[in-house]
Structure 1
């Protein structure tokens, strides 16, 4: 298969009639302009696109319409494809699979009603996309946001990819991520800057920024994402969508590796609706060959149908390093606390005592060592050493530091993570959940968290992006960003809930309750008119 990886994001109108269903219907696929330097909004009218109601459909609604024969897979493909094109100003596509996806949609659409009814794939024909980081589709490229991987073709599917395919999802693209997921923005030399649909001068977050921006811009109802320090929750917060980081071991990482970054990194999705998140997790959770962590077999779709009562929720409003938290982020937490109280939950300020210094030192060891391993494995495949010019300055510095870590450093890192996990486990004996900010600041401007800047400047800004979220990566606990607040500038600011290990049913149950009490589905970025 030939994948289009084009730094200049050339117009896909050039691909001709092989992808031309949307173009043949008379739809203009020319991207609207956007001036990212001043945040000017490029207006995109949904009424001028095929299937105008598409913007309001989530995965569950699409699947139901497909099953009833009200929509066909090719109609959904055309609608999604047209939106990828008309909303391309936000720059979310790293690798396109449009031709393969359209051919697959046509094949599915030609099937008869009996074949549709007999299918074991509940999401047969629903459009979807993967994050362009550490997940594979056989015969296609995953670039990891790096020039070193831009021609690296996968020889197999990831376990999670296969589960998505088995569920019936039609994978249309791989979505942008920063270089090796090493920052909380989605900007890279290989693919350019992914912009926030709510303000084109600001970052969509990272490292799943392409996924979150795609969902926020109503291009897709849901997309794959991953999280090694906040990379699902930060972009979900920045883009006003829902994002759940599952417990360590719930979603498969293999077959190449059973854990990412010594257990820090996990896979899941970002979605517009809570029920989509529950359904997609139901369809993909569970052990694979090599797994040594098992979770109780729980129906997450069943969990969201039962509203929780009388939860005891701790509010953790402090930055792990004592730095200030922006008033807008505190306001989002306080507003949510009032909503929780109105729903009958008990909310009070409290937090566990954690070995912060050891945990964050350990995180540096785990992430940079994991990065070095990834590069060394690619060097073996390429038959040569990686070169400095193939990396951003920040990533190159990480690679120079990584060989200095010892086995004792790695052991100490995992011990610190375990000590933090024990502290949280004891804390959850007294509280059901923890409420906190996702980030310490609203969505930053493009460039603030770039990997192409002096190291000291980068560290100063990144400290406001992910330390709160990272606590739950190091301890392997589930946590979610819920879009419950928009500030006076119209920027979304999510709030984070974390729970005990294996606590996804309770988190999703609460999220569904909050979604009903304070809906966000009708909120559209100014980018969409």
Structure 2
């Protein structure tokens, strides 16, 4: 007797539901986890060859998980994807977008992965990321570019670009994402999704990591609905029953109630400051991004909130110097870890040219330089703290421009030649004060100048998909709250989602 294969829910029906609704269908017996998984796999096989969202398909492992779903998990049976960075899943590859880790296989689960499993989510693949998550676009040499389903010639952002593409294209309703300079909020903005970066200390990076990028990195998810984001944060952060993992470098007060409950609560009358001012003199905020913020400000006023325009409470060098040195030093540390794994010094051929160049540039800075620039983060903390004494939230564009074309931030041929030449002469570390390096830093860091601020301060912030450009590309707006106040963000996001729904606005792909 032949065994019958699982019935497959149609994609048209599947994509009408967020993760919360799919879990409800499983709970009531309307669908099975296996049925949902086969629908997700079918969608992946149809679109992934073009979009390049999933770089490590793990369909058979997913099918095994679907047979063992816990009965009472809040997301039992829901198909889900893990970013190929910092998400250890025992028995599966984690290459971090780098050829040197081609043969790396995780031997244990990250704590977050354990919690997601307990919640009943069904993993079936790893998503595209740039090498070591170092860029705000997803175009690694190892994997190739992920493509934005809203326009295939354009980037979905990074570093959680593959996760964003998978969610926007309807493969899954949610996927993991991490954020060290905007890597949740940037792809959320580029792909028309909701993306919240939690407060420092809210979500563990353990047990492998205590902190990353001097506390700038936070982990969570990309979703289409606000309630999915809130529910997933309850899962990975522990909600009101939060207990820090042993050895955590940061702790934070647990929320008053589950974040999922905040979504339907009234936010009250909020005091909101906003700015569209460009941080980089050479880069003017695109009119579409300015318009997105101003339209949002008008909507907020209509909803009864007090909104006031203010100048940016921080200066350019906070990003181009204080954060740039952090990026360089962390890149050098990543390569040192890679060398330990390989059992030999890292070679130029093991990594991409820019990764190599950043690590070599780090050699031009002393320990005193790094410590001095890290101390400057406190200046930013105090400035933002003073702003939040007057205002509940701070509104800006998520990005200073709409989604970029694929390849827009790749080195110019002249820059590529110069980096190769200077490296061959052993002089990269002496370029730290050169015009070439200054231009490279301003071009790449200018793109994340709005998002990176809350990575440095540790505040929670969210990108909300409230605007689309004239040519149909998504443009997010970003709100920042005080440290520990994700609840306020979820309350406002729930209100905005009701007033200006985006869930059914999907790319025609």
The TM-score, its normalising length taken from structure 2, stands at 0.90
1:293 matched to which residue of 2? 250
Q: Is the Cα contact below 8 Å between 1:392 and 1:451 reproduced in 2? A: no
Q: Does 1:82 align with 2:64?
A: no
Q: Is the Cα contact below 8 Å between 1:183 and 1:450 reproduced in 2? A: no
**Equivalence map 1:122-133=2 (5 Å):** 122-133=74-85
Q: Is the Cα contact below 8 Å between 1:352 and 1:427 reproduced in 2? A: no
Q: What SS is found at the alignment partner of 2:203?
A: coil
- Alpha-carbon distance, 1:391 to partner: 1.8
**For 1:70 and 1:371, how far apart are their aligned partners in 2?**
48
* Equivalent of 1:363 in 323, 327, 332: 323
Q: What SS is found at the alignment partner of 1:136?
A: coil
Q: Does 1:473 align with 2:455?
A: yes
Q: Does 1:189 align with 2:135?
A: no
Seen in structure 2, the aligned counterparts of structure 1 residues 252 and 107 have a Cα distance that, compared at 3 Å, is closer
Q: Is the Cα contact below 8 Å between 1:91 and 1:194 reproduced in 2? A: yes
Q: Is the Cα contact below 8 Å between 1:184 and 1:449 reproduced in 2? A: no
2:101 matched to which residue of 1? 149
Q: Is the Cα contact below 8 Å between 1:314 and 1:351 reproduced in 2? A: no
Q: Is the Cα contact below 8 Å between 1:359 and 1:416 reproduced in 2? A: no
Seen in structure 2, the aligned counterparts of structure 1 residues 107 and 427 have a Cα distance that, compared at 3 Å, is closer
Q: Is the Cα contact below 8 Å between 2:128 and 2:138 reproduced in 1? A: yes
* Equivalent of 2:271 in 306, 309, 312: 312
2:206 matched to which residue of 1? 254
Aligned residues: 477
1:303 matched to which residue of 2? 262
**Equivalence map 1:273-422=2 (5 Å):** 273-285=225-237, 286=242, 287-298=244-255, 299-322=258-281, 323-351=283-311, 353-354=313-314, 356-422=316-382
Q: Is the Cα contact below 8 Å between 2:89 and 2:110 reproduced in 1? A: yes
Q: Does 1:462 align with 2:414?
A: no
Q: Is the Cα contact below 8 Å between 2:318 and 2:380 reproduced in 1? A: no
The TM-score, its normalising length taken from structure 1, stands at 0.86
Higher mean C-alpha displacement, 312-321 vs 354-363? 354-363
4+ aligned runs moved over 4 Å, structure 1:
455-460
Q: Does 1:172 align with 2:118?
A: no
Q: Is the Cα contact below 8 Å between 1:178 and 1:188 reproduced in 2? A: yes
1:106 matched to which residue of 2? 67
Q: Is the Cα contact below 8 Å between 1:185 and 1:450 reproduced in 2? A: no
- Which digits, 9 at most, give the CA deviation of each residue in 1:498-526, with x for residues without a partner? 11111110011101100000000111102
Seen in structure 2, the aligned counterparts of structure 1 residues 81 and 21 have a Cα distance that, compared at 3 Å, is farther
2:430 matched to which residue of 1? none
- Alpha-carbon distance, 1:168 to partner: 1.3
Seen in structure 2, the aligned counterparts of structure 1 residues 217 and 157 have a Cα distance that, compared at 3 Å, is same
Seen in structure 2, the aligned counterparts of structure 1 residues 245 and 66 have a Cα distance that, compared at 3 Å, is same
**For 1:190 and 1:130, how far apart are their aligned partners in 2?**
18
**For 2:312 and 2:440, how far apart are their aligned partners in 1?**
29
Unaligned 5+ residue runs, structure 1?
1-16, 28-48, 109-115
Q: What SS is found at the alignment partner of 2:295?
A: helix
- Alpha-carbon distance, 1:86 to partner: 0.7
**Equivalence map 1:230-249=2 (5 Å):** 230-249=182-201
**For 1:229 and 1:452, how far apart are their aligned partners in 2?**
23
Q: Is the Cα contact below 8 Å between 2:65 and 2:123 reproduced in 1? A: no
